[in-house]
Chain A
Amino acid sequence: MDLFVQLLLNGIWAGSIYALLGVSWALIFAASRTFHFAHGATFIIAAYLTYVLDSVLGVGLIVASAGGILAAILFGLAIEGILYRWLRKAYATPLVIFIASLGALIFVENNTAMFFGTDAKVLSGFPIKVIKVGNVGFTTLHLAMFFTAVILIWGLMLFLMKTGQGKAIRAVISNPEMAEVIGIDIERVFLLVYGIASVLVGSAAILVTLERGATPELAHWAILYAFIPVIIGGVGSMGGAALAGLIIGFAESIGIWKIASQWQLGIAFVVLLFVLIIRPSGLFGFSVYRGKI
């Protein structure tokens, strides 16, 4: 029983990160229908800037995190506001935008690798303490992961449901042409969406860096774990992406009990294929999006 609770908790901690990644990308994909690969670049930019501010300049973890998230926002806005907008103005096909996004990802990733090397960069300054309840253990960092995810995703949901801006985003998600007709400034909504998503992915980046250190390769890891919850949860559903993130967390945590941990990714892949076979539209998806990439 203790083992089960422990595995369940491990699943929640990992699932929180996957949920953050998934929801952040789900928002971008649902609203802008752009297959935003460069999201992985946003992730490592937040991670490495926080590292530089914290461990090199020593401004303290809180200020450093704020700086990291700010950098993520600026990068997200720049990619959308400059690159994607330029391409859309030139009537680029979604494939063209997708490839530009790939290019931006490897550009940022390899610059990072060149400046910082490929070894893991760790953050200091987070009071990691082990908490034991009976035979079940976890750390303060795990709690931080969980609460960050809950607060940010909850906040996003409230924002989407209650505020005018949020409603505009939802309108764009369900029907961009109609949203434009009723006078919603789509470009502004896109910027807003990329900004919000960058906050989410930046927070996830800092938490992951605290847990295991930052490497340039995390960019690939981050996009994969951002994409998979969206497909499992169903395109267009933020809640679905969050829940799918948790499901992957549980599946991996229970799987690792029996399988060596380096095969973790295989578990997520099996869940993905399984969902594709039994429910191709995702667990909570609605089939608004029928375009061709």
Chain B
Amino acid sequence: MDYIIHILIMICIYSILGVSFNLILGYTGLIAMCHAAFFGIGAYTAALLGIHFGVNFLIGIVAGMVVTGIIGLLVALPAIRVRDEYLIVTTLALLMIIYTVMMNWIDVTRGAAGLTGIPRPRLFGLEISTPTQFLPLMAIFGLLCFLISRRIVTSPFGRALKALREDEVAAQALGKNITSFKIRVFVSGGALAAVAGGLFAHYMAYISPFYFTLTESIFIFAVVIIGGAANLWGPVVGAILLVSITEALRFMAISPLIVGFTRQIAYGLILVLFMCFRSQGLLGEFGRKRREGEEVSDEGEGEELARRQLQLSQAEQLFGTPSEETVDANSSLLELKGVSRSFGGIQAVQGCTLSLKEGRITGLIGPNGAGKTTLFNVITGLYPSQEGAIRFENREITRFSAHLIPSIGIGRSFQELRLFHRMTVLDNVLVACPHQTGERIWGAFFRFGKVREEERANRDRAMAYLRFVGLEEKAEELAEDLSFAEQKLLSLARLLATEAKLMLLDEPTSGLDPVFMESLYPMIKELVRYGKTVCIVEHNMDVIRAVVDEVIFLNQGQVLARGTPEEIMNAPQLAEIYFGA
């Protein structure tokens, strides 16, 4: 009987480890190899405090969380800023360093011999010593960690995490500071692992460095991946399955020496087989909600969408009544002076000087490679300008980082859309809403009421944006299941949700059929009536003629001409450049 309870306790511990690692790996897509080290730091901190100072185990656990959090932060700061693979290597190194410290800092950790005599926890004057007494404690902590993680992933914070997992560039263009999000989730995941460590140390009463090796980290990987990454219950299922299997092997193997190896061989094999045949794990991210294999037919859907009539009447609800006073056509919203950007030897934008007038639709045209998209990237801070100055509403923004640009009122769409594919249509729009209290961990946990209120309001607005572009019925579908034209509309709705004053549209109509394309014109024009300023990169001259007030002709990263669509199109020398005579 005690043996079964022991298994249940181990399931609780591994559930905590899995649930916390799921935040890092499943929801954020960060590959960290050091979860066993976090587990170990938590265990050693709690054990040492218990042995030497006899502190209450709850304080030991909290101390473990703090120490783990600090170490995690120190490693995350340099490693997370850069590419993903750096984190793998840095965390692998961290894991092995922590192991080295446990093995060699003999005075404190007693090296390979490990720490013995870790005191039993006391709660309300009662000593908890038998497995039966431990089980409720473990279950409570397991539940607590599960609830914390559930709150994190269902809050706006968790939604932003998924967005940056799906597409960092797009998340940045919606104003998310991706480095900060990653660091926060890495540190909080690590701190939760330390809880498991503290519990483990007190339960086992003995710990040694061998519990916290790379093999252990890979086991935690297996718990998350086999259960189902980015599914709340995934790691719990994974823990139940893997702990049971490894414990069952105990009865089958002959010598106790071999048990450890066989169980690792077994889960190594399970990992490989799962990756080959069911890589989403047992549960998968979307459970049964997801309809598999349904083909989206693009046939004649342009007409269909156009018929669905864009809900222009929504506009007033969204943007307020159109301002009657005409905007001073000479005041420019965005000004670029001598802006340059080169990549290696290629000068993509050189000495570009232009201005976008408020309340106008400006078209940016030019031959391929003229630097149109690069100009957008420079304005939005993705590739900071190397020379010159950019001013927005008379404010110098040249050095602003990419995630600050949306907050001052500049939004953009991407030619390749960059939707968050494995998120619902509604979530794609919701994540774009500015100033969300629930995107801070503190806000998500301690300002419940405010977050709930904001969520309700944002949801209403998001649905209104979806209605505006005609996607209301698809709100609960995954973005990747939409047709191409619908995805284009979604990217527009997402951009609108940022409430940007200046909207930079990168080829909003490319790849669409003509009927549907024409149905977009009134929508874009409508936006200007409500105080938006629009700049469109476009190849299609019909679009330019139908929508645009003014055209800027770009060639080799410089402004060659500007004027009304007619003026530009009737200039023979420009046509020559454009069509490469």
Chain A residues at the B interface, C-beta cutoff of 8 Å: 29, 35, 83, 86-87, 90, 92-93, 95-100, 102-111, 113-114, 220, 223-224, 227-228, 230-231, 235, 260, 262-263, 265-266, 268-269, 272-273, 276-277, 280-281, 289-290, 292-293
Count the B residues whose beta carbon is within 8 Å of the partner chain — how many?
45
Chain A interface, >50% SS class = helix
Which of B93-101, B184-192, B357-365, B467-475 makes up part of the contact surface? B93-101
Q: How far is the CB of A106 from chain B (nearest CB, A)?
A: 4
Q: Is the CB of A100 within 8 A of B261?
A: no
- 10 more contacts with CB within 8 A, not counting A110-B262, A231-B90, A276-B82, are A95-B29, A106-B268, A231-B89, A262-B103, A266-B100, A269-B97, A272-B90, A272-B93, A280-B86, A292-B168
Partner of A224, one of B96, B104, B265: B96
Among A103, A220, A262, chain B packs the most CB atoms within 10 A around the CB of: A103
Partner of B84, one of A104, A230, A292: A292
Partner of B104, one of A97, A111, A262, A272: A262
A93–B84 CA distance with the chains assembled, in angstroms: 14
A-B contact pairs, 5 of them (CB 8 A): A95-B31, A106-B218, A224-B89, A224-B93, A265-B100
What are the residues of chain B within 8 A of A224 when measuring CB–CB?
A: 89, 92-93, 96
What are the residues of chain A within 8 A of B261 when measuring CB–CB?
A: 110-111, 113-114
Q: Is the CB of B97 within 8 A of A100?
A: no
A277–B272 CA distance with the chains assembled, in angstroms: 35
Q: Is the CB of A263 within 8 A of B100?
A: yes
Q: Is the CB of A35 within 8 A of B272?
A: no
B88 at the interface (CB under 8 A from A): yes
Residue ID in chain A nearest B79 by CB atoms: A276
A106–B275 CA distance with the chains assembled, in angstroms: 15
Q: How far is the CB of A235 from chain B (nearest CB, A)?
A: 7
**Given A265-B96, A292-B29, does the pair A235, B271 have CB atoms closer than 8 Å?**
no
Q: How far is the CB of A280 from chain B (nearest CB, A)?
A: 4
Q: Is the CB of A96 within 8 A of B94?
A: no
Q: How far is the CB of A87 from chain B (nearest CB, A)?
A: 6
A251–B408 CA distance with the chains assembled, in angstroms: 47
B270 at the interface (CB under 8 A from A): yes
Q: How far is the CB of B353 from chain A (nearest CB, A)?
A: 29
Q: Which residues from 69 to 85 on chain B have a C-beta closer than 8 Å to any C-beta of chain A?
A: 75, 78-79, 81-85
A91–B280 CA distance with the chains assembled, in angstroms: 12
Partner of A104, one of B29, B104, B268: B268
What are the residues of chain B within 8 A of A231 when measuring CB–CB?
A: 85-86, 89-90
Residue ID in chain B nearest A220 by CB atoms: B214
**Given A99-B271, A106-B268, does the pair A280, B93 have CB atoms closer than 8 Å?**
no
For the complex of A and B, list the 9 residue pairs with the smallest distance between their C-beta atoms, beginning with the closest: A103-B271, A107-B268, A100-B275, A106-B268, A103-B272, A114-B261, A110-B264, A280-B82, A227-B89
A118–B1 CA distance with the chains assembled, in angstroms: 34
Q: Is the CB of A289 within 8 A of B83?
A: yes
B267 at the interface (CB under 8 A from A): yes
Q: How far is the CB of A206 from chain B (nearest CB, A)?
A: 23
B276 at the interface (CB under 8 A from A): yes
A269–B99 CA distance with the chains assembled, in angstroms: 13
A113–B259 CA distance with the chains assembled, in angstroms: 12
B375 at the interface (CB under 8 A from A): no
B180 at the interface (CB under 8 A from A): no
B279 at the interface (CB under 8 A from A): yes
What are the residues of chain A within 8 A of B86 when measuring CB–CB?
A: 231, 276, 280
Q: Is the CB of A100 within 8 A of B272?
A: yes
**Given A99-B225, A104-B268, A231-B86, does the pair A223, B78 have CB atoms closer than 8 Å?**
no
B44 at the interface (CB under 8 A from A): no
Q: How far is the CB of A31 from chain B (nearest CB, A)?
A: 15
What are the residues of chain A within 8 A of B100 when measuring CB–CB?
A: 262-263, 265-266
Q: Is the CB of A103 within 8 A of B94?
A: no
A108–B269 CA distance with the chains assembled, in angstroms: 10
Residue ID in chain B nearest A266 by CB atoms: B97
What are the residues of chain A within 8 A of B214 when measuring CB–CB?
A: 220
Q: Is the CB of B276 within 8 A of A86?
A: yes
Q: Is the CB of B269 within 8 A of A290?
A: no
Among A231, A263, A266, chain B packs the most CB atoms within 10 A around the CB of: A231
What are the residues of chain A within 8 A of B85 when measuring CB–CB?
A: 29, 35, 231, 235, 293
Q: How far is the CB of B342 from chain A (nearest CB, A)?
A: 14
A215–B44 CA distance with the chains assembled, in angstroms: 27
What are the residues of chain B within 8 A of A92 when measuring CB–CB?
A: 275, 279
A287–B84 CA distance with the chains assembled, in angstroms: 13
A223–B89 CA distance with the chains assembled, in angstroms: 9
Q: Is the CB of A99 within 8 A of B221?
A: yes
What are the residues of chain A within 8 A of B272 when measuring CB–CB?
A: 83, 100, 103-104, 107
What are the residues of chain B within 8 A of A113 when measuring CB–CB?
A: 261
A254–B518 CA distance with the chains assembled, in angstroms: 71
B309 at the interface (CB under 8 A from A): no
B296 at the interface (CB under 8 A from A): no
Partner of B31, one of A98, A106, A273: A98
A113–B86 CA distance with the chains assembled, in angstroms: 29
Partner of B275, one of A103, A110, A265: A103
What are the residues of chain B within 8 A of A108 when measuring CB–CB?
A: 268
B130 at the interface (CB under 8 A from A): no
What are the residues of chain B within 8 A of A276 when measuring CB–CB?
A: 78-79, 82, 86, 90
Q: How far is the CB of B458 from chain A (nearest CB, A)?
A: 28
What are the residues of chain B within 8 A of A280 when measuring CB–CB?
A: 81-82, 86
Q: Is the CB of B218 within 8 A of A100?
A: no
Q: Is the CB of A102 within 8 A of B279?
A: no
Residue ID in chain B nearest A232 by CB atoms: B89
A290–B86 CA distance with the chains assembled, in angstroms: 12
Q: How far is the CB of A109 from chain B (nearest CB, A)?
A: 8
Residue ID in chain A nearest B279 by CB atoms: A96
B215 at the interface (CB under 8 A from A): yes
